[in-house]
Each structure stands twice: as C-alpha cells, then as structure tokens.
Amino acid sequence: MILIADAGSTKTKWCFFDESGYELNLTTSGINPHHSDNVRIREIIETELFPQADSAPDSIDAFYFYGSGVSSENIKENLTNLFHSIFHIYNISVNSDLLGTCRSLFGNEAGIAAILGTGSNSCYYDGKNITANVSPLGYILGDEGSGVHLGRTLVADLLKNQLTDQLKEMFFSEFDTDKDKILYNVYRKPEANRYLASLSVFLCRHIEEPECYDIVYKCFSEFFIRNIMQYDTAKHSKISFTGSVAENYKEVLSHVCEHYGITLGKIETNPIAGLIRYHLNLLQK
C-alpha cells in the first residue's frame, strides 16, 4: 500500500491506496516545518491520522510526502528521519508541495504550475524537474495572490476606511470582531497567516461587490506581475493551478490570465487525485 500526504499550513490531506483500487482519504491539521516542530508533527500523525486510519498504517510499503515549507535538503533529511521513526518503513520520499503540484497537474508534460492556497508558489516544470522558481518569500514578504494576501489586503483596506461603511459593518458582524480583536490576532497570537487567510472568505461571499472583486483581481495581478511574468516561457506555456483560493476565485483568475495573455489550463482544489495517477503509473511501468 502507498501513502501520499499533501501538506499545507492549514490542513494535510492523506491518501492510502493500492493497485486494486482501495483508497482511504483523510484530513488532519496542517504540517509546515517552518511553523511546526518535530514534536508537533509527530503529535498530528499519532493523534489525528492514526486513529482515523485504523490499521492502514501497518500495511504501508511506500510513503510520499509533499509539503509546504520543504525548502532545503536539511528540512528534507529531518522530515525523512522523523517519518522513518514513526512509520518504520524504508521507502520514504519527502518533496516540496510545488513538485507535488507539478506531478499532479502535468504528469510528464511541461508547463507552469502554481499554488494558490493559504500561501502561494509557482514554477516552470519541464516534465520531470522544476527548472525555474520565483521564491514565494512567505506571507510577510510575498505569497501574492494567496489566502493570506487576500485577507491581509481586505483587513488593511477595511481598517484604513477604503471600503464602504456597509461592507465594514457586514465584515465585523459576520466575524463577530472589531479593530482591536483583529490587531490582537495578527500581532499577538501565533499563526497570524492562518488567521488572515480565514478572513479572506468574506471576499468570496461578497464577490459581487465591486470592492471585493477589485481586491481579488489586484492580488492576483500582483501574483502574475511579481511571479509568473518572470518566467521566460510565460507567454508560451499553459499555466495550471491547485489550491482552494484558485478554485474559489477561478472566474477572476481566468480574467487575470486573459489580461496577461497566458493560457489557463487546469484548476484543481488539491493535487491528491493527480498524485495518485502519477504514482500508479510509476508502479505499472
């Protein structure tokens, strides 16, 4: 049996499957090595995953982990050793969520792959390897077009009186919050990135409001200007996306692609289905 994990900052999707068609899909808290230490990662697996999976972990032959924050060889080595100690199997592969997105969206074909979820990332994939990547820089310096960016822009515009009084009142009412609570959550509590991303759903609920549409369009435009347009192949490649933000705002995303003259390919909420296809193909070769 094979286990695949698609780990983001907010949640981790797990899938146990085999060639016979057996499939078990589960969800736990997010795993990002920049935000979660080994103790927390072990806790998530042992207290959230294992109780849901019943006896499935005992039958694993190979584990493929694709995660946000897997940005260096040291992180890969640390996670690989940690997973060895938890799952007690030899065949473990740890890679970035970006490579997982590439394999899911394009398989062995070339194209520009992008993630728009809590954070954002992008790359050019030649069908086998990532050959170009504009660093996302995280939610403080980058992550343009992400849920964090959308939420941050929304809140900043809201508190700087750039939105109508009606939208401001609707926002405070829907989240049962106010300026002081927002500032406390952003500057005093941990995981401000997740908090800001959670506020971005207001834009989706009210996308028919011109101010909300404009925020989403502006954030996506920044993602293209500061990331996608830096790839030499941008105007000649298809771009495909994974992530809840890409799925929730796909109409706006298509308009931005059209504006920049880029061909839009697939938009998938998460890469698990494509990764299953990819790894089953490898098994069958």
Domain boundaries of the chain, sorted by first residue: 2-96+272-284, 140-217
CATH architecture of 2-96+272-284: 2-Layer Sandwich (3.30)
According to the model, what pLDDT value does residue 191 have? 84
Closest CA to 35 of 4, 6, 68, 12: 68
Q: What would the CATH number be for the domain defined by 140-217?
A: 1.10.720.160
pTM: 0.84
Apex CA 192: angle with CA 11 and CA 34, to 5°? 60
| Alpha-carbon span 250 to 268, nearest angstrom | 10
pLDDT value, residue 280 = 86
Token pair recorded at residue 182 = 């927002």
Asked whether the domain spanning 140-217 has the same topology as the one spanning 2-96+272-284, the reply is no
Each residue's pLDDT, cut to its tens digit, for the chain (285 residues) gives 899 999 987 789 999 998 888 889 999 999 988 888 999 999 999 999 999 998 877 889 999 999 988 988 999 999 999 999 999 998 999 999 899 999 999 999 999 999 999 889 999 999 999 999 999 988 899 999 999 999 999 999 999 999 999 999 999 999 999 999 999 999 999 889 989 999 999 999 999 999 999 999 999 999 999 999 999 999 899 999 999 999 999 999 999 999 999 999 999 988 898 999 999 887 766
Sign of the C-alpha dihedral, residues 181, 187, 190, 193? positive
Give the chain's radius of gyration (CA, Å). 19
| Residue positions counted in the chain | 285
The confidence score (pLDDT) of residue 284 equals 67
